[in-house]
Amino acid sequence: MTVIKESTATGGSRAVVTARTPAGATPFTTEEIERIRADFPVLSRRVHGDVPLVYLDSSATSQRPRPVLDAERAFLETSYAAVHRGAHALADEATEAFEAARAAVGAFVGVDDDELVWTRNATEGINIVAAGVTDPSGEPTLRPGDEVVVTEMEHHANLLPWQRACARTGARLRWIPVTDDGRLDLAAADDIIGPRTKVLAVVHASNVLGTVNPVALLAARARAVGALTVLDACQSVPHMPVDVHRLGVDLAVFSAHKMLGPNGLGALAGRREVLDALPPLLLGGSIVDEVTMTTATFKKPPARFETGTPAISQTVALHAAVRYLEDLGRDRVAAHEHALTGRMLAGLAGIPGVRVLGPTSADDRIGAVSVVVDGVHPHDVGEVLDAAGIAVRVGHHCAQPVHRRFGVRSSTRASLYLYSTAAEVDAFLDALSGVRRYFGLV
Ligand SMILES: Cc1ncc(COP(=O)(O)O)c(C=O)c1O
């Protein structure tokens, strides 16, 4: 991270924390960010009468640009039909669009098209894997004495399915602890990942702490002991280049609605032979080769896991979303968010009574920044910010253990995306710095 001088509108200058990503990409210029924002109709909204919206809740769900909205609408107006079924022109067009989206989204995360399974969301993807390893017909199959390793900073989506998998099989759940500065304790990880480890399931970027974990390193260690590696890439795929194979993980999950795409769609992506060894979670139509009254044989992945009528137009929208992200350049998206995260962290450091959960430097960190305001409940913080048009998330963000790790039950999270601006970060800092005064605490 570096500090540079930025001219202010009044002709003065102020210190601004900025940064280059390791790849050397630069943040968006003011003109570029204006053009980007013009693509997102909702960002020009006013709330509570005439207060401009400051949307800092993109880690919960991101907003959608016109090309994504237009692509889905155009598909629905011209080519919508059931996929992989009908013998008519629309069914062919819909199937082609559905599979083209699969190929594009797969390429976006570095896997082949037969290595990307459409799911409802990331949560479903993890459940497919966690249920799969409790099924005796699958490989690997958890047995008593085996260990599943997660981290203390998991979203409940990557914790509860493993709790159940362990309870059902007699395997033991272990976790890599989090240090006081919000990083994984890698020395402990070295001991925890060992010969008994059958599964390592780890979050790439924490939705609470913002920490980006050293996944390649952890995956290499898990591979060396023959464990299956599962990556929760919900908060990384939208914000930085992610290549599943290059990271060395077997499987990864992510959700379309956090990366400019629609809700109701996610993906489970990873090594073909690993998917091929997993049994399906949901049983029913679209996934079978042969069915008798008492038996069924299943198709190869990805079809094996796509039970029932899938989300269809949503895949077309996600295809448009990855095109949009690629056109902007994922390195530049990361650089933009990195610079804004640095600005936010520097500003937060100057507000008395506000504590950041997680790393206080923007390195190896995404722009999901959770804070605790001394003496003020996050719901009250959220209300004060909302009155200023600032949309943040309050609560435990589906990650209670990591809050408990830092001695709190909940927090206030501001999260950035490619359309966020320095002015929005400053608006957040301004409003937050008034919260304790508002409640008579200073
Ligand atoms: C790190 C992480 N994992 C998993 C999820 C679950 O995603 P979804 O609700 O889209 O399945 C989220 C959503 O907030 C998340 O941030």
DSSP bridge partners of 116: 269
Closest residue by Cα to atom 7, ligand 1, is 122
Owner of token pair 């102020």: 14
Cα 156 to middle of ligand 1, angstroms: 8
Of 56, 53, 29, the residue nearest 41 (C-alpha): 53
Binding site membership of 415 for ligand 1 (Cβ less than 6 Å): no
Mutation pick for ligand 1 pocket among 231, 235, 396 (CB with most ligand atoms within 8 Å): 235
Binding site membership of 255 for ligand 1 (Cβ less than 6 Å): yes
Cα 399 to middle of ligand 1, angstroms: 10
Q: How many helices (H) and strands (E) does the chain have?
A: 15, 19
Are 156 and 300 in contact by the 8 Å Cβ rule? The answer is: no
* CA–CA separation, 421 and 137 (whole Å): 51
End-to-end, the C-alpha distance of the chain in Å comes to 32
Question: Is there a catalytic annotation at residue 234?
Answer: no
> Helices 160-169 & 122-132, crossing angle to 10 degrees?
10
Residue 213 DSSP symbol:
P
Cα 412 to middle of ligand 1, angstroms: 17
Count of CB atoms within 10 A of residue 98's CB?
A: 23
Binding site membership of 267 for ligand 1 (Cβ less than 6 Å): no
Catalytic residue among 47, 82, 186, 398: 398
| H helix runs in 225-361, sequence order | 244-247, 272-276, 313-328, 330-349
Distances in Å between the Cα of 151 and the Cα atoms of 114, 278, 336, 402 are 29, 23, 28, 9
Binding site membership of 62 for ligand 1 (Cβ less than 6 Å): no
Are 13 and 7 in contact by the 8 Å Cβ rule? The answer is: yes
For position 24, what pLDDT does the model report? 83
Closest residue by Cα to atom 16, ligand 1, is 207
Binding site membership of 123 for ligand 1 (Cβ less than 6 Å): yes
Binding site membership of 232 for ligand 1 (Cβ less than 6 Å): yes
Binding site membership of 169 for ligand 1 (Cβ less than 6 Å): no
Return the H-helix or E-strand segment holding 69. Answer: helix 66-78
Are 305 and 126 in contact by the 8 Å Cβ rule? The answer is: no
* CA–CA separation, 272 and 64 (whole Å): 31
Of 420, 271, 242, the residue nearest 339 (C-alpha): 420
DSSP secondary structure letters along 16-61:
EEE---TT---PPPHHHHHHHHHT-GGGG-EETTTEEPEE-BTTT-
DSSP bridge partners of 2: 18
| Tally of residues, the chain | 442
The count of C-alpha atoms lying within 13 angstroms of the C-alpha of 170, restricted to the half-sphere facing its C-beta, is: 3
Distances in Å between the Cα of 189 and the Cα atoms of 144, 146, 244, 376 are 21, 16, 21, 35
Q: Which atom of ligand 1 is nearest to the CA of 60?
A: 14
CB under 8 Å to 187, separation ≥6 — which residues?
Answer: none
Q: pTM, whole model, 2 decimals? A: 0.94
Of 334, 432, 426, 309, the residue nearest 380 (C-alpha): 432
One pLDDT digit (tens) per residue for the chain, 442 residues: 333 333 333 333 333 333 334 468 999 999 999 999 999 999 999 999 999 999 999 999 999 999 999 999 999 999 999 999 888 999 999 999 999 999 999 999 999 999 999 999 999 999 999 999 999 998 999 999 999 999 999 999 999 999 999 999 999 999 999 999 999 999 999 999 999 999 999 999 999 999 999 999 999 999 999 999 999 999 999 999 999 999 999 999 999 999 999 999 999 999 999 999 999 999 999 999 999 999 999 999 999 999 999 999 999 999 999 999 999 999 999 999 999 999 999 999 999 999 999 999 999 999 999 999 999 999 999 999 999 999 999 999 999 999 999 999 999 999 999 999 999 999 999 999 999 999 999 8
Of 426, 417, 435, 430, the residue nearest 55 (C-alpha): 417
Owner of token pair 């669009």: 97
Cα 154 to middle of ligand 1, angstroms: 10
- Checking 1-10 for CB contacts under 8 A at 24+ apart, the result is 1/342, 1/361, 1/362, 1/363
